[in-house]
Structure 1
């Protein structure tokens, strides 16, 4: 899961923020909210590949956080859509659908939850 807090006051900041968000979409991330992007990874090594890609494409200002969730941690997320709680799935491996809308996608590894706070270079 990638959380972004990017400056958008100046025109060049807005362009950089838009380019970074488009980069995340091009890399296969889905937008859960405007500043939250999620992607399924097949393991720790695959997730670390995306850490490196994101670090290479950081915009010149703002903050980017990467949170990694395990299967079990994702399974325990409680979700609401249109004020209705979505049913929790029991002991099923999360699967990303090929077509259709799903409100949450995720980036996970088998390691413990990892929180990386990357401050973009000024």
Structure 2
């Protein structure tokens, strides 16, 4: 049953990642991967909140592992950073790596704090 919940969460998270990435990136005339940054920060915020709230393992599997796991994307972040560096946009590559790490950790921390506050 847990695997099925993960699959359902991933089936929702992966298309949302793609659609969000395309929508955000279409609004920016830049080589910087704003779409990937957006989904990674949003997913980190949500995962932080999920981690803070006492929830059944099924909920954690569905939302945390499935949905957030498919919504966020370390592999795309890595690829886009490498692509930026190889095409000569080294400052963008460095900014992508640093901003993604700091914003992701900050979002996860904020999500955790919000989750704890809402859980009482």
TM-score, structure 1 as length reference = 0.33
- Structure 1 or 2: more strand by fraction: 1
Q: Which has the higher helix share?
A: 2
Return the TM-score normalized by structure 2: 0.33
